[in-house]
Amino acid sequence: MRPDVFSPGAVAAKGAISIRNVTKIYDPDGAQVMAVDNCSMDIAPGEVCMIVGPSGCGKTTLLNAIAGFHSITEGEIILDGVQLCGPRQPLATQSADRIVVFQNGALFPWKTLAENVAYGPMVQRRWPKAECMERARTALKEAGLGAVVDKYPGEVSSGMARRAEIVRALINDPKVLLLDEPYRAMDALTKQIMHEALLEMYDRTKVTIYFITHDLEEAIFLGDKVYVMTTRPCRVKKVIDVNLPRPRDYTTLTTEAFRLLVKEADEAVHEEALKAFKAGEREMA
Amino acid sequence: MSAVTIDQTQTPPSRTFRRRSKFERAISSLGFWRGLAGILVFLVLWEAAAYLKTAADFTVPFFGKLPAPTLVAAAALEVVVQPGYWWSWVESFKRVLGGFIIAMILGIPFGLALAVNKYFRDVFFPPFEILRPIPPLAWVPASLIFWPTNEMSIIFVTFLGAFFTIVINVLGGARTIDVRYLRAAQSMGATQWHLFSRIILPGTLPSIFTGAAVGMGITWNVVLAAEMVSGGGSQAGGGLGFFIWSSYMGGSMEHIIVGMISIGIAGYLSSALIRWLGERAMPWQRAF
């Protein structure tokens, strides 16, 4: 057994992420910037984990490390007992078990929605080409996008595009879905519908979700746990257990329990945002 | 057969409209008629300027020196029945398309290689950037010496005109593909070949067509000048550039203008061809 493999068999379910003492130092032109400092997190399989914190605090750095886009400086990240990255291999290998949904959407504009969704299975040769397309159409129909399967991303609304992008991720049957502020630029009403659609897809797949957001209500509404991060360098400041019953819908938003949780998160985030703002002022001076 | 009853509560079947052709839509739009009116006003003013010259001996600046549009039309009617005139078209088109197609065949892979491979870029980009600012026409004397025939040297200069533009556009287009597309594809398991063929290539297509459209314009500029300078090869099929040049030598202003308008039409047809190909190659762009 390789020593860097963490006790196999201890975790049975899929999608357990363990982030252990991870540090990331960026070194552009010798100016050592510590983005993440000795950060540890344990995400249970199938958990919806919401990450909130001030802008530029290093939330995306962790996401990039899990996805295999950026290397880490110290520590290790383990997925289901297998080390993704650690001292010996600072950059994780990219794989379809961890799929990212990007801030501004990354559907390929030159492919129709069905072709976009079929892309992953096709390049992985999971099924014959025709079957990939057939399954992509079915998956889009299940997500309420049956009428636009043959449209290009530029022809549909941003809400439809974002939903299709999540379908494109989930068809690969990933262990972890990594979302980097996917609903940032959306109006409140569209966001609400997106949340319900995401929860519905989550209930069907029970995939582990690592979701970065600035929107505290979004965090409480969707999450099992909300991680409030400190300002740069990024560490876990507070973990809020969201014990609101599932399934949740828009009526949850007006309950007393919901409001209290938002307040709790708000206090923690506000403190960090102030620190970040003051640090910014110092840097400018 | 039972009687048909119409249920008023039912929603009427949605009316389907016959999709009108592009031409029908064009002639029914006000913009088309305004454009036509603009051309007519221009022709009338031109005719009036020519009339003032002959009738009142008053020379309107620039326009007064031109033959009247009616005389040009008469000259045009006279030349369009001569096969020699059409051979000029064929000659010029052969050169433009020859140079242009070679430029596309060499320029697109070269630009993509510059974009995706750092070593290739390090070695080939500096000499490319030194050669690029040289105007294609500055190559005419050298290429007349390099190449055994006039025809080859004209095609070579035409090729240069399009090549640099195409390469720069392909390089720029491929380098500015959003990194999110590459990351998304990689995280879904795309191989290097898939990244190239399914992401970089389609992502660069809009730039390839922009480069082609600009390059096509330059090839027409270049081919005409090259035909004038080199004498256009044989006397019989000198191309449209030589047609203008020989009209100038023969002192026929009407024929010069017929030649000029012919080139305008030829250039327009070439651009329309590229637009047509572009729309077919990039169906997703029609959405915008």
Question: Using beta carbons and an 8 Å cutoff, which residues of B are at the interface with A?
Answer: 178, 180-181, 183-191, 194, 198-199, 202-203, 205, 282-284, 287-288
pLDDT at A157 over 80: yes
Q: Which of B181, B189, B283 sits opposite A96 (nearest CB)?
A: B189
Burial A13-22 (b: 16+ CB within 10 A, else e): ebbbbbbbeb
Q: Which amino acid is at B33?
A: W
Under 8 Å between Cβ of A187 and A214: no
Q: How many whole angstroms separate alpha carbon B10 and alpha carbon B3?
A: 17
pLDDT in tens, A209-236: 999 998 888 899 998 899 988 887 788 8
Q: Residue A284's pLDDT is what?
A: 67
Give the containing element (helix H, strand E) for B193.
Answer: helix B192-194
Across the interface, whether the CB atoms of B205 and A110 are under 8 A apart is answered yes
Strand order in the sheet with A48-52: A98-101, A176-180, A208-212, A48-52, A225-229, A236-241
Q: Residue B12's pLDDT is what?
A: 52
Across the interface, whether the CB atoms of B284 and A152 are under 8 A apart is answered yes
pLDDT at A76 over 70: yes
ipTM of the complex: 0.78
State the average pLDDT for chain A: 83
Q: Residue A282's pLDDT is what?
A: 73
Site of tokens 């079957």? A131
Across the interface, whether the CB atoms of B188 and A100 are under 8 A apart is answered no
What is the SS3 string spanning A194-220?
A: HHHHHHHHHHHHCCEEEEECCCHHHHH
pLDDT at A285 over 90: no
pLDDT in tens, B55-73: 877 777 777 778 888 888 9
Residues of B in contact with A91 (CB under 8 A): none
Cβ-count burial of B106 within 10 angstroms (0-12 exposed, 13-18 middle, 19+ buried)? Answer: middle
Q: Residue B231's pLDDT is what?
A: 63
pLDDT in tens, A168-198: 988 888 889 999 888 887 888 888 888 888 8
Nearest CA of chain A to the CA of B202: how many Å?
A: 7
> Of all residues in chain A, what percent carry a pLDDT higher than 70?
93
> Of all residues in chain B, what percent carry a pLDDT higher than 90?
31
Tokens of B180: 């999110």
Q: Which residues in chain B show pLDDT less than 70?
A: 1-19, 230-237, 287-288
**What number does CATH give the domain B76-287?**
1.10.3720.10
User: Cis bond leading into B148, ω under 30°?
Assistant: no
Report residue A236: phi and psi, to 5°.
-80, 125
State how far the alpha carbon of A166 is from the alpha carbons of A145, A227, B185, in Å.
12, 22, 14
Prediction pTM value: 0.75
Residues of B in contact with A111 (CB under 8 A): 202, 284
Q: How many CB pairs under 8 A join A and B?
A: 68
Residues of B in contact with A171 (CB under 8 A): none
Q: Which of B284, B285, B288 to mutate to test the interface with A (most CBs of A within 10 A)?
A: B284
Q: How many whole angstroms separate alpha carbon A106 and alpha carbon A109?
A: 8
Partner B contacted by A127 (CB < 8 A):
no
Cα atoms in the Cβ-side hemisphere of radius 13 Å centred on A4: 14
pLDDT in tens, A4-15: 333 343 333 578
